[in-house]
A and B are shown apart, each in its own frame.
Chain A
């Protein structure tokens, strides 16, 4: 491997994934609507997938394992988005709002 090429450095991918995870957690805390939180959750999924691909490329013996795992992550993320958005729309029909602060019927 040529050491001057940046894309052969695993640390860059891992640091990028760490930054994506931190941004995703920050968005999950900061957002006040359900859809904003869903988008932040997608960022966390992407961080995990990028980590899997980086370790697959630089550490794994079988180069197809990580790719298949990331494919499964994508499938589960798509299923999660479908379910979460249908819940968001059902919530909007009942409350006329998707702000998390107003969904407080169970707040004792």
Chain B
């Protein structure tokens, strides 16, 4: 760790950048008015999450996060935005009731956050048990085909049913013209 000058500082800066990317993306995904900006916020948030997975010693999941979320989920949502034009009403006048509900939602979510923050920061999360493997891609592949082979097959079934269901639901009501 000490070969490169200020390696720890650089690592800390990159880690804080990853945290900031995740949180800024999540805030953008929630508070923007236009839905396409919200999708962009989700993509930014997923890039930040991929960096966090990398810091958690899992480059495999970092790649999967980019591939599935940024590459598939966000692009699919953009297609739905193009087909369904879900613009939030900009000219609609805000009523007092709306502000009241927003305030209530903010209070509830703030309570959730502070409760989890207190819980998370009070505990000592250092490891108790010795590690049995290193979490490499080889060990993931072995575990997927031995210990977790049944959930693996169930996921493939679930994806198949999702594809068929999406086709069936989106096809009904479509006229021939």
| Chain A residues within 8 Å of B, Cβ to Cβ | 2, 4-7, 10-27, 29-36, 38-40, 42-43, 46, 49-50, 53-65, 67-68, 70-72, 74-83, 85-90, 92-94, 98-99
Q: Which residues of A contact B105 (CB under 8 A)?
A: 25-26, 29-30
Q: Is A33 within 8 A of B140, CB to CB? A: no
**One of B27, B58, B68 near A23 (C-beta < 8 A):** B27
CB within 8 Å for A21 and B55 given contacts A11-B125, A15-B121, A79-B158: no
Q: Which residues of A contact B163 (CB under 8 A)?
A: 82
CB within 8 Å for A90 and B121 given contacts A68-B144, A74-B65: no
* A25-B102 Cα distance, complex, nearest whole Å: 12
* A50-B6 Cα distance, complex, nearest whole Å: 28
Q: Is B68 within 8 A of A13, CB to CB? A: no
A-B contact list, 14 entries, CB within 8 Å: A4-B12, A11-B125, A13-B56, A14-B121, A19-B23, A24-B30, A36-B35, A39-B38, A39-B41, A43-B26, A61-B130, A68-B151, A86-B166, A88-B80
**One of B11, B27, B161 near A7 (C-beta < 8 A):** B11
Nearest residue, chain A, Cβ from B23: A19
CB within 8 Å for A92 and B84 given contacts A20-B22, A39-B77, A53-B58: yes
**One of A21, A26, A68, A85 near B166 (C-beta < 8 A):** A85
Q: Which residues of B contact A99 (CB under 8 A)?
A: 86, 89
Shortest beta-carbon distance from B45 to chain A in Å: 7
The 5 A-B pairs of least Cβ separation, nearest first, read A63-B135, A18-B116, A79-B162, A14-B120, A27-B30
Shortest beta-carbon distance from A14 to chain B in Å: 4
Q: Size of chain B's interface in residues, with CB distance under 8 A?
A: 91
Q: Is A42 within 8 A of B42, CB to CB? A: yes
Nearest residue, chain B, Cβ from A26: B109
Q: Is B26 within 8 A of A23, CB to CB? A: yes
* A38-B121 Cα distance, complex, nearest whole Å: 30
Q: Is B35 within 8 A of A90, CB to CB? A: no
**One of B42, B121, B140, B173 near A94 (C-beta < 8 A):** B173
Q: Which residues of A contact B127 (CB under 8 A)?
A: 58-59
Q: Is A82 within 8 A of B162, CB to CB? A: yes
* A18-B125 Cα distance, complex, nearest whole Å: 16
